[in-house]
């Protein structure tokens, strides 16, 4: 994912909105667990009742990104993607 963001910056994709994702939906609990693993620490979460009208599942449509990147479009599993993101965010 970090590589895609760098490429977007270099190629000046600022006129385009592109969804980044795996094409698969993840529950909040799955994302929290994977991010906790990537961060190497427990993340405290407080669950509340969903707001009226909120979606149970949301999956980003990555078609534009796939067209833009072609064969270079490949995401690994959720855990690897979050580890890469966490590493990029926390490196100095």
Closest-CA residue to 79 (of 28, 25, 37): 37
Question: What is the pLDDT, as a whole number, of residue 37?
Answer: 92
pLDDT in tens, 22-71: 677 888 888 889 889 999 999 998 988 888 888 777 787 878 777 777 76
Q: Alpha-carbon torsion 39, 44, 50, 53, what sign? A: negative
Considering 5-9, 30-34, 70-74, the range whose residues carry the highest mean pLDDT is 30-34
Rounded mean pLDDT, 13-20: 70
- Distance from C-alpha of 90 to C-alpha of 83, rounded to nearest angstrom: 11
CB 19 within 8 A of CB 62: yes
Question: Rounded to two decimals, what is the model's pTM?
Answer: 0.60
3-state secondary structure of 25: coil
- Distance from C-alpha of 34 to C-alpha of 82, rounded to nearest angstrom: 7
């Amino acid at each position: 994912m970090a590589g895609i963001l760098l490429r977007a910056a270099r190629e000046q994709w600022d006129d385009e909105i592109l969804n980044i994702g795996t094409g698969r939906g993840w529950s909040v609990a799955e994302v929290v667990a994977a991010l906790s693993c990537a961060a190497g620490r427990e993340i405290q979460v407080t669950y509340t009742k969903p707001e009226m009208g909120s979606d149970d599942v949301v999956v980003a449509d990555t078609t534009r990104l796939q067209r833009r990147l072609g064969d270079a479009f490949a995401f690994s599993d959720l855990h690897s993607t979050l580890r890469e993101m966490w590493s990029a965010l926390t490196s100095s």
